[in-house]
Structure 1
Amino acid sequence: MPHTLNIVGAGHLGRVLGRLFAASGAFAVQDVLTRSAASAADAVGFIGAGRAVGELAGLRRADAVMLAVGDDQIEAVCAALANAGMLGGALVFHCSGAKSSAALQAAAARGALTASVHPVRSFADPEGVARDFAGTFCGIEGDARALALLEPPLALIGARLVPLDAAAKTVYHAASVMASNYLVTLMDAALRAYQAAGIPEQVARELARPLATETLENVFRLGARPSLMGPIARGDVATVARQQAALDGWDAPTGELYRALAVATTRLARRDR
């Protein structure tokens, strides 16, 4: 029989992993606890397994506990579960990319085996992620015994495991933010600048698409430095200065963003020379 799993916090990420664990037989989803009985019932409906629980007192002990709560709630929720005697001897893991398994110290102090698992995906579309999760990279770190227990279930759902240095977990998460969230911010600045030049928004998107996608493909194929093109790469300081002045005059915040990126891009252009 698969190990039983309690899920605490079942937003997009928690319910996707819950569905995958249940469907694959990696875990037998037992209890699902969220902020309300209604949201827990909704999560159980998505997962297709488990019992909805609206309060801590309703949880039964399980072999494993997944904390899929917000980053700022992990320590408090873990401490509450530990104080209630729910974690002794269990496998306990959270799904934060920003915090290490050290956030589960209250569980470890009660004899639990602790770890963290962070799927490197956007969970904006839970149905879509659940459908094509196989091959998703997951950053993992924690107690060696916990990882030994976690790796087989994660393999069953198609995760590609990437061991992390727990001490650098926040830097790792910042990398994910820059590769996703900040990339969106940068593209927004470019699209607004196109529109300031009189190009309609939809046309601006199509104009930017080949530049953005081909550049990213080059970075993933060749690396960052060989993919760098444009005025800074060729040493055209005058063009950069004109662009800076134009952006400062058009939109000061975008000018500040351009200035910071120009400094970083100049460093990149000089790398390995």
Structure 2
Amino acid sequence: MHVIESSVNLIGAGHVGRVLGRLLAAQGGFRIQQVLTRSADSAQQAVAFIGAGSVVTGYEQLQPAAVHVLAVGDDQIVPACEALAQAVPLQGSIVFHCSGALASDRLQAARDAGALVASVHPIRSFADPAAVAAQFSGTFCGIEGDEGALAVLAPALQAIGAQPVPINAAAKTVYHAAAVFASNYLVTVLDAALRAYQSAGIPEPVARQLAQPLASESMANVFRLGAPAALSGPIARGDMATVARQQQAVTAWDEATGALYRSLVGPTTDLAQRKHQNSPIST
């Protein structure tokens, strides 16, 4: 079987797939060969965005390629991989998916067919694909998989401006949860703060103004100094009497928010202990 070394087939071409396709074609040294999506219209739109490739409407139309990108939803990774393995000779090729939550072991059908497999997860919001493609430089990508696949993909990612970060495949779900903590749950905690301010009679727009410097300075300190050094407040001072009063008052105001407060006391106490362990001993 003869495979053009730089050829790429793109299966699934939502926002992530389109951005990777455009960048790999323009800067990564690859040639987008074929694009397969759920409909010919969406595939044509992807080809127009990428500026390369031809539309196919079924797996049976796919040709052999050096790289196959599965830019599909998490629930479609396994069936898409199985369909690909049945339709195309994969010996010696690379197959990777773009999920942040699932590891490359979901591509076992491709591995069984002789492919090297990996996962590449760009850590970005892809709400505006054109903007992301234009400003992709510096984007971190969590990568894991077969060594031979990563030996090809890591330099390609660097060529399009990404920063590949190797991750432990066994901890892929925890890795993805880290993004949830850093983004989604952070919003939930800030919502609790805004609602608490409002319970004290402060209008919501003013509450946001009050919370913003506290939140912004805390985040800046975490990223500048690390979490233990950034921690302040009653638990960091060891003022557990104040913590107990706050927990009681918050629970009386809103039971669910009180439970959230209570759930954070233990981890924050552990963080405070690390803070004091790392602090210089005063004499």
**Same-fold status (TM-score > 0.5):** yes
Superposition map of 1:106-255 within 5 A:
106-255=109-258
- Correspondence for 1:26: 29
Structure with bigger gyration radius: 2
- Correspondence for 2:14: 11
| Structure 1 residue 202: Cα displacement | 2.7
Is this contact kept in 2: 1:4–1:29, CA < 8 A?
yes
**RMSD in angstroms over aligned alpha carbons?**
1.8
For structure 1, the 5+ residue unaligned runs are none
> How far apart, in 2, do the equivalents of 1:199 and 1:42 lie?
48
Pair 207,54 (structure 1): closer, same or farther in 2 beyond 3 Å: farther
| Structure 1 residue 152: Cα displacement | 2.2
| Structure 1 residue 51: Cα displacement | 2.1
| Structure 1 residue 64: Cα displacement | 0.6
| Structure 1 residue 190: Cα displacement | 1.8
Pair 128,54 (structure 1): closer, same or farther in 2 beyond 3 Å: same
Is this contact kept in 1: 2:62–2:87, CA < 8 A?
no
| Structure 1 residue 22: Cα displacement | 1.8
Percent of aligned positions that are identical: 64
Cα deviations by residue, 1:119-138 (Å, 9 ceiling, x for unpaired): 12222232222121111111
Pair 42,195 (structure 1): closer, same or farther in 2 beyond 3 Å: farther
| Structure 1 residue 260: Cα displacement | 0.7
Cα deviations by residue, 1:168-197 (Å, 9 ceiling, x for unpaired): 222222212211222122222222222333
**SS at the partner of 2:153?**
helix
TM-score, scaled to structure 1: 0.93
- Correspondence for 1:266: 269
| Structure 1 residue 265: Cα displacement | 0.5
For structure 2, the 5+ residue unaligned runs are 278-283
Give aligned pairs, total.
273
1:35 paired with 2:61, answer no
Pair 12,199 (structure 1): closer, same or farther in 2 beyond 3 Å: farther
**SS at the partner of 1:45?**
helix
TM-score, scaled to structure 2: 0.90
Cα deviations by residue, 1:90-141 (Å, 9 ceiling, x for unpaired): 1111111222211111101111111111112222232222121111111111
Q: Which amino acid aligns with 1:127?
A: A
